[in-house]
Amino acid sequence: MSKRRGKKRKFNKCIIILSILCVITVIGWIGGILLTAPGRHEVQQLTINVIDIQNLREGTYVGEYIGIKDHSRDTKVRAIISAERLTDIKILKGALDKTGNPAELKDGLGIGDLFSHVIESQSLQVDVISGATLTSKTHLKALENALQQAETK
């Protein structure tokens, strides 16, 4: 009978340890959500302004989005304007994979796809990537900031 009690105690200890680990995980997850909430709210409130790309000066421009309450979605992009068209956009900081290429964010789509739509439509007023709305918005805001530098005053 003492062997049986010993096994039961070990089993109970394992259950207690697993329970504690689960509680710690849940607390960490909730803490992470609460800590990033102000930054998420800040990005949700971002508006992307209309920019008339045909009236921009030719050149290469770099724009950034730097969060005030959270820096997890800070981005930096380079835009090239040539012959009254936006011809190229490169992500310098943000949604990049380990090799420096645009990362896949949701359903095989990434910011590279979003920027392809911007170049195709010659407008910042494009649909964001569903499931990656906040990341899409910060990259569009960084692009807007780059293009504002090219506006003729």
Q: What average pLDDT does this structure show over 89-96? A: 90
pLDDT band of 33, cuts 50, 70, 90 = low
What percent of the chain clears pLDDT 70, i.e. is strictly above it?
A: 87
Q: What average pLDDT does this structure show over 91-110? A: 85
pTM above the 0.85 mark?
Answer: no
Is residue 112 scored above 80 in pLDDT? yes
Domain spanning 53-149, CATH architecture = Alpha-Beta Complex (3.90)
Per-residue pLDDT, 76: 96
Tell me how far CA of residue 79 lies from CA of 14, 41, 44, 100, in angstroms: 56, 27, 24, 17
Whole-number Å distance between alpha carbons of 143 and 53: 12
